[in-house]
Amino acid sequence: MASTSRRTQPRFTGPEPLGRRRLLGAGLAVLAPWPAGAQDAWPAKPLHVVVPFGPGGANDIVARAVMEATARALGQPVVIENRPGGGSTVGASYVAKAAPDGYTFLAPAAGVITNPMIRARMPYEEGDLLPVVLMAVSPSVIVVAPDSPIQDLKGLIAASQQGAGLNFATAGTGSTPHFVAEMLKLRARAKLQVVPYKSGSEGMTAVVAKQVDATSEASPVVLPMIKAGRLRAIASTWSRRIAALPDIATAQEQGFADIVIGHWSGVFAPKGTPVAMLDKLNAAVNTALKSSELRARLIPLAIDPLGGSRAEFQAFLDAEKARLGPIAKAAHMKED
């Protein structure tokens, strides 16, 4: 899950460029107690970036695209490894316990901050992962079946307030679609029955099959089904319209200013990784995100490149925790 917040976010420059292991392009290298001059040689070997989700999702797409461009900037390969499971805790725990030598990093989504809100026990401590850079956000898009009578967000709210309400598919407890549903319930008084599925793809399929009335999913994942006419988008939940889907009004434009969330993707490092390496990786990712080549790759996929300093990323995370925590508590979100 990923989400967006109010204006304590890092500078948003607008939409830009966006298994198993895969060698991408150039990458990064070593740590430990560093002798003088050693940090200048970093990276000296390939980086290992763990994506805590399966291949093909929004987070995986962003990580592969951004790390490929980052690798070229650093002059070393970057190896991407998918380690899904446990709502992203399997991959996150692996990196949290890895040697802080500047060669192992995590490319997670919002679960890195929302999992502690819904899980009684975590396999690692929050401070075990250090934020490096916020790479991009994939806005959530609320969708219905193409022949649904619901045409916009106000229509969804109105329809939900009749009879038994509407069924809204999510990708499981604590997922970004779940937060979208709870925002609609808490802030728009929508009468929704949350129906959890194992993945966002299953939720979209359920909408197509008319097993549920609506769902939301990350823009690059839902984009092909919208273009194919299998789903109809009624709102996006980002702070501005999606460049690849310019006809879809945001929830804010439709009168729901507090419904703002997206599937964000960042980079984290194990606690103890030298600051000089974190800064160098942050700079390389920011350089990659500004490249016209990467922007041209990401924007058509409905992905909004971000970037910013490590401090700005930390501020973003703090704001998201403060914003989403009360929603998780009010909705009584608990680990499935």
- What pLDDT digit, counting tens, does each position of 261-288 carry? 999 999 999 999 999 999 999 999 999 9
Task: List pLDDT tens digits, range 136-179.
Answer: 999 999 999 999 999 999 999 999 999 999 999 999 999 999 99
Using the predicted structure, report yes or no on whether residue 34 has a pLDDT greater than 80.
no
pTM: 0.85
The domain locations on the chain are 22-137+264-330, 139-236
Task: List pLDDT tens digits, range 234-253.
Answer: 999 988 899 899 999 999 99
What Cα–Cα distance (Å) separates residue 297 from each residue in 76, 220, 294? 21, 12, 5
What is the gyration radius of the CA atoms in the chain, in angstroms?
19
Question: Which DSSP symbol is given to 245?
Answer: B
Tell me whether domains 22-137+264-330 and 139-236 share a fold. yes
Q: What class is the 22-137+264-330 domain?
A: alpha beta
Q: 335 falls in which pLDDT band (50, 70, 90)?
A: confident
Position 275 scores a pLDDT of 97
Position 29 scores a pLDDT of 32
Distance (Å, whole) CA 49 – CA 95: 9
Distance (Å, whole) CA 296 – CA 75: 22
Position 57 scores a pLDDT of 86
Reported as type and span, the H/E element at residue 22 is strand 22-23
Q: 20 falls in which pLDDT band (50, 70, 90)?
A: very low
Residue where the block lists tokens 């990708």: 171
Contact 1, 57 (CB under 8 A): no
Q: 39 falls in which pLDDT band (50, 70, 90)?
A: low
Name the percent of the chain lying above pLDDT 90.
82
Q: Between 294 and 12, where is the model more confident?
A: 294
HSE-up of residue 67 (Cα within 13 Å, Cβ side): 30
Kindly state the average pLDDT of the residues 294-314: 96
Burial track 96-105 (b if 16+ CB lie within 10 A, e otherwise): bebebbbbbb
Identify the burial level of 188 via C-beta atoms within 10 angstroms of its C-beta, where 0-12 means exposed, 13-18 middle and 19 or more buried. Answer: buried
Distance (Å, whole) CA 159 – CA 317: 34
Position 32 scores a pLDDT of 38
- Residue 58, SS3 per DSSP: helix
Position 27 scores a pLDDT of 33
Kindly state the average pLDDT of the residues 207-214: 97
Superfamily of domain 139-236: Periplasmic binding protein-like II (3.40.190.10)
Mean pLDDT (the chain, rounded) = 88
Using the predicted structure, report yes or no on whether residue 291 has a pLDDT greater than 90.
yes
Positive/negative CA dihedral, 310, 132, 333, 181 = positive
